[in-house]
């Protein structure tokens, strides 16, 4: 059974987000916290202070996705992140990327590495020994509600082969609905991020179960 991580991105404000969290907290496995500050993607939403505020108001595990150039990962760990995912493309110097991943693990959080749709799996194979999770973006990062890119299936299957017996989870984010969830599970995905599908559903708990059970 795949794990489901609803995203904070569609929430209108903090009160709306808290209401959303209370509704889904026993059905979902993680809360996927999208962080954007306009230097990696165009959108700006919030920073480590907002993560800390979320952490103070929920016992859910926080899966923090940093769409930020060369982020200070320690700030997010201190704010309560359980998983800290950085983007491969956000580090021009790949030694800095490797150091960031090591630092996340040293501070007892899970280290995640994300790739945009136009980044090949082959580009990140040398980093697999430093990560606990790879997040494959199935839409262009930066906004909720985009259509799932079909080429993601092949990327997930290929990534599964490269991972082999390593204890690395594959997460997919963007445009996921039940039929796509079913296909991604067959390809080897372990965690599915849902923004619009769960948030816009009349019965959000049922929507999570539909994604999980396919």
Per-residue pLDDT of the chain (214 residues; tens, 9 = 90+): 899 999 998 998 999 999 999 999 999 999 999 998 877 876 777 789 999 999 999 999 999 999 999 999 999 999 999 999 999 999 999 999 999 999 999 999 999 999 999 999 999 999 999 999 999 999 988 666 678 999 999 999 999 999 999 999 999 999 999 999 999 999 999 999 999 999 999 999 999 999 998 6
Catalytic residue among 34, 47, 132, 190: 34
34 annotated active-site: yes
Q: What is the pTM of this model?
A: 0.95
Catalytic residue among 9, 47, 173, 190: 173
Q: Where do runs of H (alpha helix) occur along 134-203?
A: 152-163, 178-187, 196-199
User: E-assigned strands of 51-92?
Assistant: 61-67, 83-87
At residue 170, φ and ψ (nearest 5 deg) are: -105, 125
């Amino acid at each position: 059974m795949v794990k489901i991580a609803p995203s904070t991105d569609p929430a209108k404000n903090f009160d709306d987000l808290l209401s959303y969290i209370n509704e889904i907290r026993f059905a979902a496995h993680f809360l996927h916290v999208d962080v954007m500050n306009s230097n990696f993607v165009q959108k700006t939403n919030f920073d480590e202070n907002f993560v800390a505020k979320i952490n103070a108001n929920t016992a859910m595990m926080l899966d923090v996705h940093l769409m930020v150039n060369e982020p200070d990962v320690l700030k997010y760990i201190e704010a309560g992140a359980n998983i800290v995912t950085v983007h491969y493309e956000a580090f021009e110097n790949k030694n800095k990327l490797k150091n960031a991943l090591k630092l996340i693990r040293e501070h007892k959080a899970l280290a995640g590495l994300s790739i945009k749709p136009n980044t090949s799996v082959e580009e990140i194979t040398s980093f697999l020994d430093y990560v606990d999770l790879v997040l494959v973006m199935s839409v262009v990062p930066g906004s909720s509600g985009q259509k799932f890119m079909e080429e993601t299936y092949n990327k997930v299957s290929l990534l599964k082969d490269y991972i082999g017996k390593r204890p690395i989870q594959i997460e997919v984010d963007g445009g996921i609905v039940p039929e796509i969830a079913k296909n991604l599970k067959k390809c080897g995905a372990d965690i599915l991020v849902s923004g619009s599908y769960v948030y816009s559903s009349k019965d959000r708990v049922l929507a999570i179960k539909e994604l999980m059970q396919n």
